[in-house]
Amino acid sequence: MAEMFYDDDADLSVLQGKKVAVIGYGSQGHAHALNLRDSGVDVRIGLAEGSRSKEKAEAEGLTVRSVADAVKEADVVVILTPDQVQRHVYTDDIKPNLKPGATLVFGHGFNIRFGYIKPEADADVIMVAPKGPGHLVRREFSDGRGVPVIVAVEQDASGHAWDVAKAYAKAIGGLRAGGIKTTFTEETETDLFGEQAVLCGGASQLVMYGFEVLTEAGYQPEVAYFECLHELKLIVDLMIEGGIAKQRWSISDTAEFGDYVSGPRVIDPRVKENMQAVLKDIQDGTFAKRFIDDQDAGAPEFKRLREKGASHPIEETGRKLRSLMSWIKDDKGTSDYVEGS
Ligand code: NDP
Ligand code: MG
Ligand code: MG
């Protein structure tokens, strides 16, 4: 059984005496910063010159500084810019200004695991990675709940890195739901695998193929949308509540029998082999290199793929149908997805 932490296992006061700089105020950054502040931690935000996020942070009453100035006064520096820019921000603005013995906090292990950031030997290096999107990390906290986190220490120069890591996990609400002890390697490789094979890549492709098969066979796109995309949430909610068994209990016997006979026919053993190949590319750094090299070249492959995804017919059908379902709120704002913030 994994080693788990809950609120009682952590002491918030470890963090309450320290100055924390959160670098980046995006999906995770805003959630960590606001949850830390509400947990009584002294937070400032570090952003680049001309940052689009500055106004949002200031509207919440947070102090915004340049990355260099925020880092200079901080005992704990939380790196929550996008993974592909972290090594530049680290080299240019964090490393030259970091207090000796400061703690570096990551929300994902990518840059440490693949060697893009190599911290000084006197720094504590920890990770508190929420297992959910940033907007939920904030919403759940505000509602008195929390998103589970996984917690790791890569470097414990001070001998107190675990105390800070647990206090941090508690301060953002993660230990209300539970924290699991992990390593940077396990977090990075499983996170990339999960998002690529199952959660984002796998689920999106499954939904799009389902929609294509039905519409190409002449069925109405609106019916195909409800069937292959909208209902997915209802099924997944049942799985979260009671495992795969609960969704099989709730659906009709017809659906359950179809699940058993057709599931393995659609997702056959070749899919498992493909997943193993995806995992291998993650483990040996092939995926990381492809992503970072493309980003460094101005992201031509990323932009082409993003455009291709956005032009899939399911998106047009979905936009129309969602606008007719008043309870579905696109509170992030559709323009954000299109611009790809
Ligand atoms: P976002 O893309 O949402 O973060 C963008 C923020 O970083 C913005 O405030 C942006 O400012 C700022 N930023 C961008 N470039 C720089 C720079 N050069 N200097 C200073 N600030 C900069 O990131 P995420 O929250 O998605 O990801 C942050 C980390 O959290 C990553 O390591 C990610 O893997 C991890 N993570 C993310 C999850 C998620 O839910 N998204 C889930 C779990 C982990 P501006 O507004 O000016 O562009
Ligand atoms: Mg993840
Ligand atoms: Mg991820």
pLDDT in tens, 47-91: 999 999 999 999 999 999 999 999 999 999 999 999 999 999 999
- Ligand 1 centroid, distance to 89 Cα (angstroms): 12
Residue 57 lies in a domain: yes
- The enclosing domain of 152 has a CATH number of 3.40.50.720
Residue 305 structural domain: 194-339
Rounded CA separation 246/225 (Å) = 24
At residue 336 the predicted structure's pLDDT band, cuts being 50, 70 and 90, is very low
Tell which wins on pLDDT, 94 or 1. Answer: 94
CB 251 within 8 A of CB 242: no
Residue 61 lies in a domain: yes
Rounded CA separation 95/256 (Å) = 56
Mean pLDDT of 190-217: 97
Statement to judge: residues 174 and 206 lie in one domain: no
pLDDT digits (tens, 9 = 90+) for 257-309: 999 999 999 999 999 999 999 999 999 999 999 999 999 999 999 999 999 99
CB 45 within 8 A of CB 70: yes
ipTM comes to 0.97
- Ligand 2 centroid, distance to 190 Cα (angstroms): 8
Statement to judge: residues 223 and 291 lie in one domain: yes
At residue 330 the predicted structure's pLDDT band, cuts being 50, 70 and 90, is low
| pTM attached to this predicted model | 0.91
Q: Which of 148, 182, 216 is the last residue of a domain?
A: 182
Q: Which of 182, 212, 239 is the last residue of a domain?
A: 182
| Residue linked to tokens 């090594």 | 87
Residue 36 lies in a domain: yes
Q: Say if residue 227 carries a ligand binding annotation.
A: yes
Q: In this structure, which amino acid lies at residue 255?
A: A
- Give the chain's domain count: 2
Statement to judge: residues 137 and 93 lie in one domain: yes
Cβ of 127 less than 6 Å from ligand 1: no
At residue 325 the predicted structure's pLDDT band, cuts being 50, 70 and 90, is confident
Residue 188 lies in a domain: no
Q: In the chain, how long is the greatest CA-to-CA distance?
A: 66
Statement to judge: residues 201 and 141 lie in one domain: no
Statement to judge: residues 245 and 329 lie in one domain: yes
| Structure confidence at residue 143 (pLDDT) | 97
The answer on pLDDT for 340 being more than 90 is: no
Q: Which of 160, 182, 204 is the last residue of a domain?
A: 182
Statement to judge: residues 198 and 308 lie in one domain: yes
The answer on pLDDT for 337 being more than 70 is: no
Question: Residue 218: CB partners within 8 Å, gap ≥ 6?
Answer: none
Which of the residues are catalytic?
108
pLDDT digits (tens, 9 = 90+) for 6-54: 999 999 999 998 999 999 999 999 999 999 999 999 999 999 999 999 9
Residue 9 lies in a domain: yes
Statement to judge: residues 250 and 221 lie in one domain: yes
Rounded CA separation 112/115 (Å) = 5
